[in-house]
Amino acid sequence: MGGVETTVVVVTWRGAGHITACLDAVAAQERPHRTLVIDNASDDGTAALLAAHPSRPRVVRLPRNTGYAGAMRIALSLVDTPLMAWLNDDAVPAPDWLAVLEDALGPAAAASARLDRPDGSIQSLGVRLTADGHGADATEAPAFGFCGGAALLRTNAVRTVGGVPGSFFCYYEDTDTAWRLRLAGHDIVTVPAARVTHGHGVSTRPGSPRFHRWNERNRLLTLLRCAPGAIALRELARFAAITAVLPLRRDVVDAPNFRVPLRCRVLAEVLVRLPGTLTARRAVTRRSTVPRRAVWRAWAR
């Protein structure tokens, strides 16, 4: 492929401890590219490290933290190359990562890389869709969707299916985007040869109350936007029913997502967003060429 096809987008927030290693690896890519860093109002010295990095990436510093989803939505409006790569700031791609993804993309709208933990074990090849609508790490190919930690997407394909759900703040922005690409008839390929070492959750602390709040809320919003209506309503009702009976049970799992106040907050946030979510659902329907039920039957496990 001649010329620059891809803009590598790195979203960072308080990334002083790892952003340099990420940008060093991006700069070492074998394939020509542009680099765009969206800084979510970091206050830990990240800005100085970005300004001093020898690769001289384009940096857009936001006035407040918009989360990964919000920053990616802004990045999508700035990218002027046919392809855009999503890359976490705690990810260190192999030198051939981008070249392998570009060569493997073919006619697909997105390609998901292999993310490995620092010990070398596999973390993710993409996103799989569970029987209750969770987007979970896939460790076998093919995957339903791409993992936003390291993926390559066709810029215009993402724009034409409605862009990135910036209001999600964090988590499920990749699963939701993959849903809409599938519904619009696009393919998503899994590329295990494109390797990335990933710190995973350095900024968001998986298992924390905030993690569970975003995770549970955005799963329900994604289903309401993209899944068959019966599935979306079933999972929303199930979440509410479990929340209602938790105070009556003694064998409750000691985890934030089984704490009634957090679950009530999730339900409240979903209800507040319901009018806008239903408007988004109608827009997804207008752009779809594949029935929701067909995508669900093909990928939900």
Angle between helices 209-226 and 173-183 in degrees, nearest 10: 10
Identify the sign of the CA torsion 33, 185, 276, 208.
negative
At 3, is the pLDDT very low, low, confident or very high (cuts 50, 70, 90)?
confident
Q: What is the mean pLDDT of residues 202-210?
A: 74
The single residue listed with the structure tokens 């990810």 is: 91
β-sheet bridge partners, residue 91: 198
| pLDDT tens track for 108-154 | 999 999 999 999 999 999 999 999 999 999 999 999 999 999 999 99
| pLDDT tens track for 221-270 | 999 999 999 999 999 999 999 999 999 888 878 888 889 999 999 999 99
Distance CA 93, CA 161 (A): 28
Q: Is the pLDDT of residue 1 over 50?
A: no
pTM: 0.95
The single residue listed with the structure tokens 């019966």 is: 230
Distance CA 19, CA 21 (A): 6
pLDDT at 203: 57
